[in-house]
Structure 1
Amino acid sequence: MQAVQMIELTQQNLEEARGYCLRSKPLSTGYQNKNNWLKNELEAGLKYIKLMENGKPAGFIEYTAAEYSSRVVHANDYLIIHCLWVNISGKGYGTRLINKCIEDARQQNKSGVAVVTNSDTSWTPSKDIFLKNGFRIIQEGPYGFELLAFPLKDDPLPYFPNNWEQRLQTSHELTIFRTNQCPFVDVATENFLEGARKLGLEAKVIDMKNREELMKLSPTPYGIFGVTYRGQLVTFHRLTVHSTIKKLKLLKDIVISVRKGG
């Protein structure tokens, strides 16, 4: 018989219980950055819950109050789910974790729960499991992003900002906007910097240190990682070095064509 339990990470058990992502490389920069980020966010009320099957990690969920969230969403009095992942399918583990978040929202007398999804990347949760659990799509954003909500009250629904084109003009040079919410951001950054170097391009890295900066600067609703160049979005998720070079070459060709009037 399978023994299933949920373990909530706290400042006291963080080092022992350990996060889910990149746990095989606990000494990596990305993992350490995430741990340091968690220490601050757990104190502010963030929930990070691992689901264990027979003592082994089977999945996890991370969520927090909207005012501390790493997603670029206006969601007064909502909980925002950052991450949901299960590596054992068909057992309802994802639903268990979602229901845990909804129950926390009820206990905190929140207006509801929201999540940002995007079918073009595995860096966001899949919308399908949320739709199966009573969430509904309330807004479509740029670059394939969608905002889903599970309202608990008849209060105003969450919404995306509407100034995405303006955000792309924040920096005309090649710029990486990032936070430490995801341990893979470090790998994504290094891949991109290496690809840029191979093309002779310099990239500026902007570390968004708080929600105020993230809400102002992030080029997409995802919030924690985004790259822009000459008024264009390059990516909002990790690319290989090869893919980085292809993308940047394409954007450079477009810029040259525009300058020539092509």
Structure 2
Amino acid sequence: MDLVKITPENLAQEHICCALSNNADCQVLSKKAWLKERLAEGLVFLKGDVRGKCFIEYLPAEFAWAPVEADGYTFIDCLWVAGRFAGQGHSNLLLEECIRDSRERGKKGLAILSSPKKRGFLSDPNYLRHKGFAVADTAPPYFELLYLPFDGQAEPPRFGPSAKGGAQGPAADGFVLYYTNQCPFPAKYAPLIEGMARDRAVPFRSVHLTTREQARQAPTPFPTYSLFYNGAFVTHEILSEKKFEKLLLERGL
């Protein structure tokens, strides 16, 4: 498998891998607009020349849209290789390229968000531990900041103060959703579920984090998408209409 690097020159025509092929789709538009600005900050988006989800996205941790304190590290936003590519070495290839590039840039190591067990939209902890990653810090209810230091003397990264209350969000009735454009899917699904809540007269507030500073001060380790209900954390997994309907029914709403 060969790797394709997204650049300002090829961004418009290249597919961004997340099962989205229509450049006019709001999800593609939001993600590519976000990427365009991040490329100038050192973000790297590498994908396999295959049809399907097979890519890694990383950037200097100082520019990460997450409440982490990891100066000198590379922060991996996403490492996603679809199950149908399992066992073909694609994850290793992508991660090894990230390691090579980060070493050349003089980085202390890599940092990435995960959890004790495999969860959707978070990197697989079993794979990462197999590759030498260890837990640098934790935040409730289940988030782990994993790291792979290049030097045993490197200070481990940690979550910022705002992330440490991750199971407890803002004091508010109803739902509060935090999201960014780092992932393309919220551009479609955040308005959809907000509309569903509004139709049922269920209080719902969306907080669209549009700057890195806002994301780094978010009350969740995963500002890409975090949903709270009555001040308590519900999920970081991006909800479809069907999944949100189930959640509403479970709460009698």
Structure 2 length-normalised TM: 0.88
Counterpart of 2:57, as a letter, is E
SS at match of 1:197: helix
| Structure 1 spans left out of the alignment, 5+ residues | 254-262
- CA–CA distance in 1 between the matches of 2:214 and 2:240? 27
Q: 2:69 matched to 1:74? A: yes
User: How many pairs are equivalent?
Assistant: 247
* CA deviation vs aligned residue, 1:7-30 (integer Å, no higher than 9, x gap): 110011111223111332332111
- The residue aligned with 1:131 is 129
Aligned residue runs from structure 1 range 205-220, under 5 A: 205-217=206-218, 219-220=219-220
C-alpha distance 251-125 of structure 1, shift in aligned 2 (>3 A): same
Deviations 1:26-49 (A, max 9, x none): 321111100000000011110000
**Are 2:123 and 1:122 equivalent residues in the alignment?**
no
Write the distance in 2 (CA, Å) between the matches of 1:170 and 1:65.
Answer: 33
The equivalent residue for 1:258 is none
CA distance in 2, matches of 1:249, 1:110: 47
The one-letter code matched in structure 1 to 2:6 is: L
Structure 2: how far apart are the matches of 1:191 and 1:244?
Answer: 10
Cα displacement (A) at 1:97: 0.6
1:182 corresponding residue in structure 2: 183
Instruction: Give per-residue Cα distances to partners, 1:174-199, cap 9 Å, x unaligned.
Output: 32211101111123313421331342
Q: Find the residue that maps to 2:141 and give its secondary structure.
A: helix
Q: Please tell me the root mean square deviation across aligned C-alpha atoms, in Å.
A: 2.3
Which runs of 4 or more aligned residues in structure 1 lie more than 6 Å from their structure 2 counterparts after TM superposition?
A: none
Match 2:33 to one of 36, 42, 53? 36
Q: Which residue of 1 aligns with 2:195?
A: 194
| 1:200 CA drift (Å) | 1.2
Question: How has the CA–CA distance of structure 1 residues 133 and 166 changed in structure 2, closer, same or farther, with 3 Å as cutoff?
Answer: closer
1:251–1:49 distance in 2 versus 1, CA, 3 Å: same
- For 1:225, the aligned partner's letter is Y
Q: Distance in 2 between matches of 1:51 and 1:250?
A: 40
Counterparts of 1:186 and 1:47, CA distance in 2: 22
Tell whether the 8 Å contact from 1:95 to 1:129 is kept in structure 2 after alignment.
Answer: no
SS in structure 1 of the partner of residue 21 of structure 2 = coil
Of Structure 1 and Structure 2, which has the larger fraction of its residues in helix? Answer: 1
